[in-house]
Amino acid sequence: MKACFRPFLPVALICSAFLLPRSFSQDDEPRTREISIRVIDRAALGVSTYGPMDSTATMSTRDFRLTHGDLRLSTPQGRSIALRFTAKQVTLERSGQLREFLGRNGILPDANATSTVYDLNPYLATIQEIAPGTQLRIPALEIVSETESPKLPMKPVIALINDGTLKANLREALKRFRTILNKKQKTLSPDAKRGLTEVDQAFSAIEGDQVPSSHEMLGLAAANLATLLEMLNSVTPKSSEEFTTRLMPIKAAVSGMVEAAQRGNPDVPVTVHTWKDGEEVSRFKVCYVEEGLYRQNCASTFYKLSSPTTQLLTQGVTYMFWATEPDNEAKAISDTRKLNIRRQGQQLPDLDLTLVK
């Protein structure tokens, strides 16, 4: 059984002390993410196999608590306990200590838990190289009882599942993708077959929770998969060369996001400045889209107007950026810039757009 709740994940919260410390601001982008939990050790919690195990609520990572009550479970003796979620600030002295902290706070330290750590610490580059003394916010579990004061077992008792609905839809789309791919083998060129094999391997890593993932990354993966399904359905022997050309930037994006997630945080803050006649100017909307999906329609925009304006985007992906007037997204008023998004050490991506109209 699963318990589900939907949290709002703001762009920036209390961050790793050795990177760019920053506290929550009401101006940051409100992000929504579905998180499910699975109880993996009922015996350690002392709960009944047949007790109620479902709950739905909204959660904010400002305090990382369920806003519509705790998850209530039944014990074999008929008593009631509740699982309460919070965010705990910890100080790490070494990289491997994070897994220990997560486990001692009831959370299975897997890729989903790592994703939540990155959500809570968006400026954290990677959990693989943590400087001594780094302060992080981590998800933590508390047990609440109306009749006693139970202690949380010092080991994992629940597993987190991020964006379960989105991942389920992605799995269904992947089934269709693999079915159509098998049918189109004779139509595709050798280069296209090799490229699609690499894409399938990258999707498998996402599907199997082999790497941490952000909501932005999963949404981008789904958009690429939908485009590939459309391309595969319409490819013919005559259009095979065009198909291969369109495939290459999509392959680079999907493979790139997985490779980046293997190294660290799937997302990175990207800052854009808007300029005109050598001066930085403000109150313009910044549009962006992945290169392989580029159609210069302003489907995605930075949450705040320029300038500057900062947004969390998925690493390893090449995006196109341009500026528009706030009330006219259909018309670009700047140059269009292409940038492969990745963190270079402690340096974060930064981009200038020049207004031409």
Q: Tens digits of per-residue pLDDT, 53-91?
A: 444 333 444 444 444 456 666 666 666 677 777 788 999
Largest CA distance in the chain: 75
User: Is-contact 235 189, C-beta < 8 A?
Assistant: no
CA angle 239, 240, 241 (to 5 degrees): 95
Residue 29 is predicted with a pLDDT of 62
Residue 249 is predicted with a pLDDT of 96
User: Quick one: tokens of 332?
Assistant: 């670009």
Mean pLDDT of 281-286: 95
Helix ranges, 54-135 (H) = 97-104, 111-120
Q: pTM above the 0.75 mark?
A: yes
Helix ranges, 107-163 (H) = 111-120
Tell me, what amino acid is at 272?
Answer: V
User: Quick one: tokens of 102?
Assistant: 């997560």
Task: Say whether pLDDT at 22 is over 50.
Answer: no
Rounded distance, CA 239 to CA 253, Å?
22
Task: Choose between 13 and 296: higher pLDDT.
Answer: 296
Superfamily of domain 267-354 in CATH is Carboxypeptidase-like, regulatory domain (2.60.40.1120)
> What distance, in Å, lies between the first and last C-alpha atoms of the chain?
57
Overall residue count recorded for the chain in this entry: 357
Rounded distance, CA 19 to CA 134, Å?
9
Residue 65 is predicted with a pLDDT of 45
Q: Which three-class secondary structure state does DSSP give residue 202?
A: helix
Residue 10 is predicted with a pLDDT of 29
Q: Which residue pairs, CB below 8 angstroms and at least 24 apart, start in 346-349?
A: 346/19, 346/125, 348/20, 348/268, 348/269, 348/270, 348/271, 349/268, 349/269, 349/270, 349/271, 349/313
- Give me the DSSP letters along 24-59: --TTSPP-B--EEEEE--HHHHT--TTS----EEEE
CA angle 170, 110, 18 (to 5 degrees): 110
User: Quick one: tokens of 299?
Assistant: 């489907």
Residue 74 is predicted with a pLDDT of 66
Interhelix angle 240-263/190-207, rounded to 10 degrees, is 30
Query: What pLDDT band is residue 179 in, cutting at 50, 70 and 90?
Result: very high
Mean pLDDT of 248-276: 96
Task: Choose between 9 and 300: higher pLDDT.
Answer: 300
